[in-house]
């Protein structure tokens, strides 16, 4: 069983923030496993898409963030999202593609999950070995597999990367969402 949405976000966002805090100034322009993205783009994606998802009323509560300092931008956004989850967990809002959702559940299902998966991308972009929670990775993989065709059709996931039968659960999840678990940051010359 997973933690409550507020605690789950605190853990996942905290882990992502810990990685961001380890980045040096030159790391933010390093390539990421997402084709065409840098480490800065990984953070940028996570701080930028949620306001639109939440809509006009709730989205306005998430202030603009400055990606000049991606680690600081992340901490600001994570704190704002945490406050929304804790202060208004049962508020119902209408999301144009998904219908009515409770705020905490929507953030958990869509945003915290995205942060978790992009933690792998940021770690690899920074040259750090990812350390994804095995149980959460297993839950996500099991929950996503029945929707594979729909996910691929959305254009938000790359083609599945096949992994060895004895691959770790996080590597199977990463392969499922279209990342090569063997991807490493190119060495600097």
Taking residues 64-74, report their average pLDDT. 95
Domain definitions of the chain by residue range: 5-131, 133-182
Q: What is the pTM of this model?
A: 0.93
Percent of the chain exceeding pLDDT 90 equals 78
DSSP 31: B
Number of Cβ atoms within 10 Å of the Cβ of 100: 9
Contact between 65 and 81 under an 8 Å Cβ cutoff? The reply is no
How many angstroms separate the CA atoms of 16 and 113, rounded? 12
Higher per-residue pLDDT: 167 or 98: 167
pLDDT of 188 above 80: no
Partners of 101 in the β-ladder = 93
Indicate the Cα dihedral angle 104, 33, 42, 7, nearest 10°: 30
Mean pLDDT confidence for 142-156: 91
What is the CATH topology of the domain spanning 5-131?
A: 1.20.120
For the chain, the C-alpha Rg in angstroms (whole number) is 16
């Amino acid at each position: 069983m997973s933690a409550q949405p507020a605690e789950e976000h605190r853990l996942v966002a905290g882990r992502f923030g810990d990685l961001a805090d380890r980045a040096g100034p030159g790391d933010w322009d390093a390539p990421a496993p997402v084709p065409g993205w840098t480490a800065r783009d990984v953070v940028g994606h996570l701080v930028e898409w949620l306001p639109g998802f939440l809509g006009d009323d709730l989205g306005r509560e998430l202030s603009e963030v400055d990606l000049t300092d991606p680690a600081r931008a992340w901490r600001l956004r994570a704190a704002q999202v945490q406050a929304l989850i804790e202060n208004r967990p049962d508020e119902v809002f209408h999301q144009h593609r998904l219908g009515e959702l409770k705020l905490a559940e929507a953030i958990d299902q869509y945003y915290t999950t995205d942060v978790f998966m992009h933690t792998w991308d940021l770690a690899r972009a920074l040259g750090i070995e990812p350390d994804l929670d095995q149980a959460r990775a297993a839950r996500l993989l099991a929950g996503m597999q029945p929707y594979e065709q729909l996910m691929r059709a959305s254009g938000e996931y790359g083609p599945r990367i096949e992994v060895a039968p004895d691959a770790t659960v996080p590597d199977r999840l990463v392969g499922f969402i279209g990342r090569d678990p063997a991807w490493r940051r190119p060495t600097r010359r």
